[in-house]
Structure 1
């Protein structure tokens, strides 16, 4: 036997849903058909006037809901178009997911800032007075390993690129931008594990990686790499990233020393680049716009000016990484005496 509650449920289903379809009389069906339009009439006795009563109909409610849904979808589509760069709500475009327009950034002269990869407060003037001939003489065993590792990597690069210094610089920067990111990432994780500060080294290394990436973005405007050179970037970056990652886990001193010698080779390559420009073997084209804004160069700057500031950046990275290697070595020596 069914329980009292189950009986009520069955009765409500039969009365509320089945009855209008199965148990209506012909008159009731006519009344229902009339009511579907939103009105029904009641005869108050024979000869009496018909009285029309208005009441909300489910069908009308459903139609209005559909209309609202369509309107909502249209508004969402307009927002999506605005976030993709289209125009929504007049002439104003919504350019973010939350519908908040970004702040307008301008240069010092009031013109609109057109770069999204860096902002005006991240630009600077390179220090061209830095010593370019400074060299760290390898003394320890790890220093010698780092030095000869970098020297051995230079020979295949010279054979492959020869005097195509624009593409050589492009390849160099795809490699040089890896160590700072790897080192900063590992120091970041170490800081989280040990609940201690990094002494500012995380930001220093990440800034180095960003600076090297901007070198690449600049030379991409100058050198048009061929398809096999792009394929080589995938290969070299994949191998170097994993090799440097393991080297930093094993010996951060060795890893920073490798980068220091790598930057010394970069200085040498850019010096040769400048010689080719001065001799007229490479056309001294106007500097890319991204380089002019990033290094705050004069508007009439040339490729030679760009190479000069990039070489100065590499000299700075050379000193930072050699210094980091010395600091790490000194810390390990101090810790071994405790």
Structure 2
């Protein structure tokens, strides 16, 4: 069945999979909704986007994504409130960052209306796929990759923009233990660390496997030059609480400008929590752990929102963080998720309603 919604062609699936899904037992990112948005770049411009049934993609073996890694993505979520209204969280920030990432990888930038109207249309078509259980959401994955063919080492002449969605439960459960990395680097000055490029994450997998073999769940990345400064936690930004001050590193060529990160900073400052955005040395963190002033560490990102860290390892020594009753992590996560799910006022204008 074909339709036009928000000026976008919609080709609906002949048979929905939704009756096969156990919404009370959703793993993160393993179940996929009925439809996806597809938009092709060819002949020097982006073609009209359309919503189609979720399906495999056919590519030539010489497609440049396989050889030169031109690929960027975003991570977003859609929520339903008690009245079945659908909400997004700072979607224009995701759109802008997707184009920042695309530009760095020589991928043509997307028009805003293609992204926003395409996303809204997809969510309207697959509204029934948005979970309502506490902690669940519809995870949204916009991505762009080089679909043009050829073995020549140069940017492709064709690209594909897709938005796929996955009803998901909580990303992490419980606290994690992390290992401060002393050898490998996530990114370097002048590189693509600030972009959400697929290759950034591929390069993290091997060092993370090594950390897992030592009994940790994630890696704390340090600077590429000296490995003296804390930068990110796994695939997330990192926050450290020393006494009552919340500290996070400044964005740079190496550090992603996380949307959850920005939200935490603004929210904490609005509530009078002291926040410092500055370089944070491993030595300072270790010293704070030893003298008892290190109160909390947590990762921040779209998937987990906030993921508390129970302890860290450094130079063959482990450090445990204290068990606090009232944590910044728990408080800030609740404040953000309450805004996202329309359970409280949104003084910052972050919430975006997808109207049917």
Task: Give the TM-score range, shorter chain.
Answer: under 0.3
- What TM-score comes out, normalization by structure 1 length? 0.26
Higher gyration radius (CA): 1
More helix by share: 1
- What TM-score comes out, normalization by structure 2 length? 0.25
Relative contact order, higher structure (CA 8 A, sep 6+): 2
